[in-house]
Amino acid sequence: MTLRIAIDDEAAAAPYEQLRTQISELARSGALPVGHKLPTVRGFAEELGLAANTVAKAYRALESDGVIETRGRNGTFVAAAGDAADRKAAAAAQEYAEQARRLGLARAQALSLAEDAVRAAYSR
């Protein structure tokens, strides 16, 4: 399976972020199945015309997000990302809700601020 990743040099997002986003979306959609072996950092960097450090940074972010896992010399694989991502997002939402309540925000105000933040994050 060949990964169809496109890096746009004119995009506002950094190349590592474009790579991270695209791999994450492919994994979450199932286009990259759990257990799929990803290319090596050097090989992928060469294929995409990026620096190895750029690909390594994207892989580190994806691993931190629970989307991929590194198995030492065996390589890097797509993890069961949905569960880990859902748990992290739910924990962050819970923390936000508790903080908003402690600050005395009304429920509607807290929701409005959260919606604004999500809208801004997804429009980048």
Question: Would you report the helix, strand and coil content of the chain in percent, each value rounded to 5?
Answer: 60, 5, 30
The predicted structure's pLDDT at residue 84: 67
The region, left, alpha or beta by phi > 0 then psi within -120 to 50, assigned to residue 72 is left
- State if pTM tops 0.85: no
pLDDT tens-digit readout, 37-95: 999 999 999 999 999 999 999 999 999 988 999 988 899 999 875 566 677 777 788 88
User: Residue 2: is its pLDDT beyond 70?
Assistant: no
For residue 16, pLDDT over 60 is answered with yes
> Above 70 in pLDDT, residue 107?
yes
Sequence-separated contacts (24+) of 47-51 with Cβ below 8 Å: 48/5, 48/7, 48/19, 49/7, 50/7, 50/15, 50/19
